[in-house]
Amino acid sequence: MKLLIVSFLLLILNILYSSYVKYEHYKQAKMVVKIKDLKAENLQLEAYITNKINYYSVKDFAEGKNYQPVSWNDITFLNP
């Protein structure tokens, strides 16, 4: 009888532990998907920002604001 009770308890514990593991696994899988989505969003935002602020757009913006580009003929090396 004792053995029967012990095995029944073991069975219950096993079921409880299995459900806990399954729940944790589900939570982890959900987090992995969330991280993947966030990473994709981050990459897209990075591409959007770098495309907006690239060499050409910044140059156009500066010229639009009447910035005078440096004349490299006026630049000379200084004697240390």
Partner 1 sequence: MKAQGLTVKSEKKLKLVIFLIFALYFLVLARAFYIQVIAGENYVKKVLADFPKGRIIKITSYRGSVLDKNGQPLAISLPTISIYAFPKLIQNKQELADKLSKILGLPQFQILNTLNSKERFVWIARHVSQSDKGLVEQAILDTNNSKGVGVQSDFKRFYPNHNVASNLIGFVGWDGKGLDGMEYALNKSLGGKPIEVMTIFAPKEGKMVLKPLSIQDTGTQNDVYLTIDMGVQSIVEDIKNQIVKEFNPRRVAIVVEDVRNGNILGMATYPDFDPNDYYNYPQRDWRNSAVTDVFEPGSVMKSLFLRICHGQKVISSRGET
CA dist., res. 19 & res. 12, Å (int): 11
Which amino acid is it at 58? V
Residue indicated by tokens 């589900």: 26
Of 18 and 63, which has the nearer Cβ to partner 1?
Answer: 63
Does 40 bind partner 1 (CB under 8 A)? Our answer is yes
In the complex, minimum distance from the CB of residue 61 to partner 1, in angstroms, rounded to a whole number: 13
Nearest to 70 by CA among 59, 79, 57, 78: 59
In the complex, minimum distance from the CB of residue 15 to partner 1, in angstroms, rounded to a whole number: 28
Residues 43-62 that bind partner 1 (CB under 8 A): 43-44, 46-47, 50-51, 54-56, 59
Rule CB under 8 A: choose which of 72, 78, 79, 80 binds partner 1.
72
CA dist., res. 3 & res. 1, Å (int): 5
